[in-house]
Amino acid sequence: MNAKELKEKLYYQKKNGLLKVDDVTLKAVSDYCEGYKNFLDNAKTEREAVKTAVALAEDKGFKAFDRSKTYKAGDKVYFNNRGKTVAFAIIGKEDMEKGVNITAAHIDSPRLDLKPNPLYEEIELALFKTHYYGGIRKYQWPTVPLALHGVFAKKDGSVVEVNIGEDESDPKFVVNDLLPHLAAEQSKRTLSDGIRGEELNVLVGSHPFKDDEGSELVRLNILKILNEKYDIVEEDFLSAELEMVPAYKASDVGFDRSLIGAYGQDDRVCSYPALTAILDITVPEKTAVAILADKEEIGSDGNTGLNSDFLLHVIGDICHTQGGDVTVCLRNSKCLSADVNAATDPTFQDVMERRNASFVNYGVVITKYTGSRGKSGTSDASAEYVAEVRAMLDNAGIIWQTGELGKVDAGGGGTVAMYIANLGVDVVDLGVPVLSMHAPFETTSKLDVYMCYRAMYEFMK
Ligand code: MN
Ligand code: MN
């Protein structure tokens, strides 16, 4: 055996996935991503993602779970947690105590939330105060056209939905920034301090209510418009969840259309694959569960986050219908935590360690551990479980790679993996590499998105 042959036998070979696939696969990739872009445009918030996902699932025969019923293999149910987190399940041929296969992704994304009392007027302009949600780089958000999504919950129990800025004809909103001519002082600030939290104020109007008497007539006029449109008064902002998100739609990126650019791809780029995979499954061997969760970007806390007992109770409820024990079930269960990793950026390669970084078009990424410093704050999947996932991917011809989240001590991050691991379930992160993660416009590769779908399907089928 010469060196070339020996290398082929022994080396871990990496190759661009686009050089491995045929035209039939490329067509499937492109078709699949049209649906994905559509999902991105219709599901910019966790509430909209749940609504969109439930509608798609109901079309495929999923019904709200009923604890008093008995279910047979192939039955499809969902658990809607406050309209912000949803779990879909298809009952498997095997008993629940044999374990379930879980895919878990999140549907919340970084954004600007309105403060409880947001509206104010300065120099005859009306603005909203915001409180950013998740890890944003604040300087990226000014001068981006924004849309307002969310709900007002009124004292009479009614909930009014808001979605303004998405239609071509809708008005948009914007955080303004200084002109370069007058930014001499601001430009001396560090990048992280370039735009401060209390400077992320959104312009929402300038037309005063016509009256010679009185102050703050612009603010008054805005409230008059909101009252006419939504039947709300200013106090109703106190019980609202209103989110400012980028107003543009998802689009192809590049002359060759090989990439997708959009807001909120972390983590809808894994949510959509997990969702469409479970929608395409008929009767799985083991019960399949796909969960789309809220609150990941702020630490998974709260009753719609995966650090709550929601998933435990979902699995417990299904076990209950079979007279099975949830502890035994969890001990035998497996999970793919479907979340993004950082793709290597050609301009910023120095934060990556090339041998252990993920690359666009190299397929879905296995991330054995996330966390920061000395692997703090991660579940670190076992070697045995990673081997199992490798075998599954290779046997199905799925293009995949591995990645760490940047160089040692360069930073770090986390996913929902460790909260599911804490239930005693085997978990590893598997997701799509993203460029400009958490920015108002994130970039992914179509091939990687499709490979994520195939991995989710293979795991749950
Ligand atoms: Mn994520
Ligand atoms: Mn994130």
- Condensed to tens digits (0 to 9), the pLDDT of residues 427-444 reads 999 999 999 999 999 999
One fold for both 11-109+263-460 and 111-246?
A: no
Q: How many Å lie between the centroid of ligand 2 and the Cα of residue 67?
A: 34
Q: Provide the edge-to-edge strand list for the sheet that holds 259-262.
A: 251-253, 259-262, 442-445
Q: How many Å lie between the centroid of ligand 2 and the Cα of residue 338?
A: 12
| pLDDT greater than 90 at residue 338 | yes
| pLDDT greater than 90 at residue 214 | no
Over residues 80-128, the pLDDT tens digits come to 999 999 999 999 999 999 999 999 999 999 999 999 999 999 999 999 9
The pocket of ion ligand 1, defined by CB under 5 A, consists of: 266-267, 339
Judged on CB neighbours under 10 Å (0-12, 13-18, 19+), 224 is: exposed
pLDDT for 120:
98
Q: How many Å lie between the centroid of ligand 1 and the Cα of residue 333?
A: 22
For residue 433, the ligand closest to its alpha carbon is 1
| pLDDT greater than 90 at residue 61 | yes
For residue 106, the ligand closest to its alpha carbon is 1
What's the pTM value of the predicted model, to 2 decimals? 0.97
SS3 423: coil
Architecture of domain 11-109+263-460: 3-Layer(aba) Sandwich (3.40)
Over residues 248-290, the pLDDT tens digits come to 999 999 999 999 999 999 999 999 999 999 999 999 999 999 9
Q: How many Å lie between the centroid of ligand 2 and the Cα of residue 298?
A: 9
Q: What does the DSSP assignment read for 9-53?
A: HHS-----GGGT--HHHHHHHHHHHHHHHHHHHH-SSHHHHHHHH
Rg (the chain; Cα; Å)? 24
Q: How many Å lie between the centroid of ligand 1 and the Cα of residue 224?
A: 39
The token pair that represents 91 in the structure block: 């009952």
pLDDT for 204:
98
Instruction: Provide mean pLDDT across the span 13-26.
Output: 96
Over residues 355-410, the pLDDT tens digits come to 999 999 999 999 999 999 999 999 999 999 999 999 999 999 999 999 999 999 99
Q: How many Å lie between the centroid of ligand 2 and the Cα of residue 399?
A: 23
Q: How many Å lie between the centroid of ligand 1 and the Cα of residue 121?
A: 36
Angle at 138 between CA 134 and CA 140, to 5 degrees: 110
Instruction: Name the fold adopted by 111-246.
Output: Aminopeptidase i, Domain 2 (2.30.250)
User: What does the domain layout of the chain look like in residue ranges?
Assistant: 11-109+263-460, 111-246
Do residues 337 and 274 make contact, with C-beta atoms less than 8 angstroms apart? no
| pLDDT greater than 90 at residue 31 | yes
Task: Of 194, 196, 343, give the one whose Cα is nearest residue 265.
Answer: 343
